[in-house]
Amino acid sequence: MEQELDWKNLSFGYRPTDYNVRCLYKDGKWGEIEVSQSEEVNLHIAATCLHYGQEIFEGLKAFRGKDGKIRVFRLEENARRIADSAKGIRMAPITEELFREMVLKVVKLNERFVPPYGSGASLYIRPLEIGISAQVGVKPATEYLFIILVTPVGPYFKTGFKPTNICIMRQYDRVAPRGTGVWKVGGNYAASLTAGEHAHELGYSAVLYLDPKEKKYLDECGPANFIAIKDGVYITPASDSILPSITNKSLMQLAEDMGLKVERRHITVEELAEVQEAAAVGTAAVASPVGRIDDLDTGVKYQISKDGNPGPVVTKLYQTLQGIQYGDLPDTHGWCTVVE
């Protein structure tokens, strides 16, 4: 397989690997870990995941360092977040210990698919949990299936680490106020597809959503958190409908390490005129720099990047986080787990 894959030219997409791992929740407890080579799931036609959206997932990555070691980034945070998502839609939460064991097991089993150091690629890890009980009444399932699959992916930026333009469209909401926005459920992403495709048709990389209640404050940026740099301050929206991004949490810590002040607060649309740098941050891209933000309802265009290049703060944050993930920089916060 190493000879067949062109590691440096991998796209960000799914490729088959050797194994996935699974665990069944039944009779009030999680069972034994099962190793599978099948890429399919056998579901009852009345499973709750199909009818009532009982589905949650996560995304994290494993990186091969210059020293040959494989590092998984912040798996404990992903374990906690998927447990929170499970509780949010009345599913059985996976334990942190079981999550950790399954992540390390599936990475080790598919070790030959972890891209080599220097390729810019990584092993994407996708845990998911689904309700599998057969029922047609609207109520939580009693049985759940937890699966972790992995696939090698290339860098998120096809054209390199360069700013892209995003837009504001008030006719779309990502989630409802006090809805499922704080949990990583598939329905949130289904709800964003129409707006996202509309933005792509207009030539934008993503939609910058406003808060779903008042339409006054910045919310999420497509499938990612939004951050802004203004006068040496790292600012990210405070909202009850935003998914708590592990990447954003990590970048906030790094920003403090760099001497920046960090603020989680409401950001009005008009304040974009005073922002010096901005980015969409998440597992896939780490930090995707924003060049310009067009408010399609008012016609105002907020030019963030004045020279067409990423700003110095976002660039340093991006390079520092990647350096920690690949083992090039000291992991002073203990974020990486080395796969033995």
> Which residues does the annotation mark as catalytic?
184
> 């006068």: which residue's tokens?
231
CA distances from 178 to 129, 214, 222, 241, 274 (A): 22, 13, 18, 6, 29
CA–CA gap between residue 330 and residue 321 (Å, rounded): 10
CA–CA gap between residue 335 and residue 76 (Å, rounded): 9
Q: Which residues contact 116 (CB under 8 A, 6 or more apart)?
A: 7, 64
CB atoms within 10 A of CB 273: 12
| Tokens encoding 319 | 């390079």
CA–CA gap between residue 166 and residue 278 (Å, rounded): 11
> CB-side exposure of 40: number of CA atoms within 13 Å?
2
| Tokens encoding 33 | 């870990």
